[in-house]
Structure 1
Amino acid sequence: MKYHDSETAREVANRVQAFMDDVVLPREREALATGEQITDDEISELWEMAKERNLFAPQMPEEYGGQGLAFRDMLPSFEQVGRSLIGAISIRANAPDEGNMHTLELVGSEEQKKEWLRPLVQGEFSSGFSMTEPMQGGGSDPKMLGTTAKKDGDEWVINGHKWWTTGGKESDFLLVMARTDLDAHPYAGTSIILVPTDTDGVNIVRNISHLGGHDITEREFGHAEIKYENVRVPVENTVGEEGQGFQIAQMRLGGGRLTHCMRYSGMAERSLDIAKAYLSEREGFGEPLANKQALRHRIADAETKLHMARTGVRHAARELDQSEARIEVAMAKVFTANVTNEIIDLAVQCCGANGIGKDLPLAQFYENVRAFRIVDGADEVHRRSIARDAFEDIREEEINHVLRFDPDRRAESSTDE
């Protein structure tokens, strides 16, 4: 299906697709077949190849070593990298580093960009975004954030308990969400603070075992539980304006949700390709399974829904260029998350035993995709926002107009009774 992406977006995405097909997917298949993890040295080699092809860090400005693509122009490339288990990291577009790069580039100080952003883009550093907390802390209701940062002279003193900090165990620094003004509403009294991981008091408890936690690289991209115990960092480590943490996080998550959507839609596309190839080759009951009408209809439905998801993401990206686009992003995220879950489940079913075996990537896709309905905002949270917006502008006169009620007539009817 063709979309109205810019010429730049299509040209770069075509080159990313070629890189995936020629280099990344063959290495992924080898790793799946042998069970041998892809080493850090191999990842560095992929980065060098991506640089040679002008594909490295497409989301970042050229001054930091990226390709300088506009947000909408980079989305089709994210869809291509989503086709591989190692696609995103192969061009340095992997979460959470990609989102943290974006955050520092937009609101970081010049000193923060020099000390942390450039090395992060180049892969010399890795990072984590430390926001989610255990019960009864911040999660789907971020106002419950319990981590605090109090000023002591020219330092922040941070105390709190976080978990699900992606990449936290291997990170060089963390962007920590903390309450910095307990007298203000959390939306106005929360800040983001950059904390080097080797700072005294940063205690990384563990990586949390979870569904889909088996990686084919030797890097640990797990989700860490972290305790901050009297952690002291300079006040100048505040990222953006003090008290603007939620606004910055929303800005980070809005774009991040769409890049996730594109990565997972790429995963769904490859899953469909595998399923269609398998159904065309596998015979049963005297003919290829691809000739069975029930399967053909399910594939047709999957293709249709995936097209709708891609279209919705692109529309949300256009709106995000002009405004916060919270509802458009929420709709795109919840719809794409459910569609990609459904499609990958279908692909596993179509391939039978080969679907649950790990010679193909479908089993890993299946494990990984389930989390997408929870991370970056659970389905229920996004639906809550969408529903609130849907009912927000309904007034009495509009209800009467839509339902064709005449208030006077209703009054008369009430009196007659």
Structure 2
Amino acid sequence: MNKLKNLDEAFSFFEARTNLEKGIPLGNPNRVYRLDRMKALCGAFGNPQESFRSIHLAGSKGKGSTAAYIAALLTSAGRRVGVYASPHLLNYRERFRIQGENFPETAGLSTAQMLIKKLPEIEGNLPGEGGATTFELLTLFAFLLFRDSGCDTAVLETGLGGRLDATNVISSPEAVVFTPIEREHTEILGNRLKDIAEEKAGIMKSVPYRGLAFSASQHFITRQVIKRKAAETGMKLLELPLSLHSITMGQTSDTEDRFSWQLSWKNGNQELISLSMGGRIQANNAALALMVVRELESGFRGGSKVLAEVSLPGRFQFLQHHPAVVLDGAHTPRSVAALAEAFIRITAEDDDIRPILLFGSVEGKDHQSMARKLCGGSNPCFREVIISTPGTFKPSNPAV
């Protein structure tokens, strides 16, 4: 490939590979879901994933915001932090953040050019068929970018599952974090919640020191899987429900796009936090992030002001205020239920507010359960529900 003119060319090169985010290729999924190829890729580039400390997240929902909260808190504690998240909303650049900001274009272009130039000489010797996948190349790009940018810590989201995810080549994570796990991606991870939890718990590892694992509130089946895996690996497991007594709504914020929550910890501490991303699920994500960082950074007691500045596109995002237009990417029954709760709270404050819901689900999601969460109940909060399809990415049939 000739010299890159811009990063868009690099991302187009990556996307031209087998892109599992757009669907599973026919045949044996193990052909593309395997770690030996990613390990070989990283080895050919000097194992960049071992050049920084890693916080590794797995779960069905809440990884993006939890990762952003953790990264912001660690940055405020003095670390240089990179974040690798997926998927993106508008542009691949959203997946890679350094110190809470977009990475410098020149740095990204240099990293991508080096990766693409070297790839042909090593790809023929990689395990498996068809070469590196889109996600593997994006993950390798993240590792190289963070290394070359001098990051001392990376907060990494799994893309799908955990055990065979491309991010799971890190050998000694500083911590692993589990956000709520639900039944999803059954064609790859298995049909039972236990199977899915086993795959995601695969990011837990035996490390030279006693590693740390953190978990949000989980279904009892998932919790048992995580506890067993912690015992097998020797990781110390810290569970949010055992540390946090309750979360209640705080006083109304001075601004429309801030949501206040009172955290009551079981050690007796009371804490008021303000978040730009709405919904109780975000309060839980923020509490989980606080627990993680306070365990990793001895003496760290701040956080409230830092959390208030964290925002991500598509997470209860106000596109405008008059009239209010809110965008949210909830895509599991549990996250949709939390979204509905947020709207119920808003409409309860003013009987005249009955918003219109425009809802679309990509193929493969549990659209029936999500629809019941949004439209059920004797007093639904939406005046009208319009079913559509969310663009051309894994298109679905709105009539189903």
TM-score for both structures, normalised by structure 2:
0.29
Going by fraction, where is helix more abundant, 1 or 2?
1
Larger Rg: 1
